[in-house]
Amino acid sequence: MMTRVVSDIELGNAAHSTTVLRRFFKFSAVGAGGVIVQAATLAVLLRLTGVHYLAATALAVEAAILHNFAWHRRWTWAERRASGVLLTLLKFNATNGAVSLMGNLMLMFLFAGMLSVNPQVANLISIVVCSLMNFALSDRVVFV
């Protein structure tokens, strides 16, 4: 009897792990699209408008946040729609938005401003650093 309980727990953990991995794959795919949105927005703002790199970064991050929210709600966490779209968007901006915006600005200041790393390269490094925390926040706080 005890062996059966342990086996059921192990199967439950394996199924949960598979779900988390599948969701992380979706999260990463959406995030890759967001990277393109963020990088393109940053490039346009830097090259065509002459906006300061930190202001351009903030605007580019918000463009990616809105892109990612739409796709996460529609695909990554499609089965979790307990909250209305506006409340979920507010939670997403307050968590993922705050981590992405503050993390990207601080890391851009460090890499591009202090270490003179190319802003496009610094931008990609910043995105990677912030992504894991954003996945956890999305899964545990936003799309519940």
- What is residue 13's predicted lDDT score, i.e. its pLDDT? 78
Residues with Cβ within 8 Å of residue 69, at least 6 apart in sequence:
88, 89, 92, 93, 96
83 pLDDT exceeds 70? yes
pLDDT score of 128: 82
Give me the domain span that covers residue 117.
2-142
What is the pLDDT, as a whole number, of residue 15?
80
Indicate the number of domains in the chain: 1
Is the pLDDT at 87 greater than 90? The verdict is yes
Tell me the pLDDT band of 2, cut-offs 50, 70 and 90: very low
Does 4 have pLDDT greater than 80? Answer: no
pLDDT tens profile 94-110: 999 899 889 988 999 99
Question: What is the C-alpha separation between 19 and 76, in angstroms, rounded?
Answer: 11
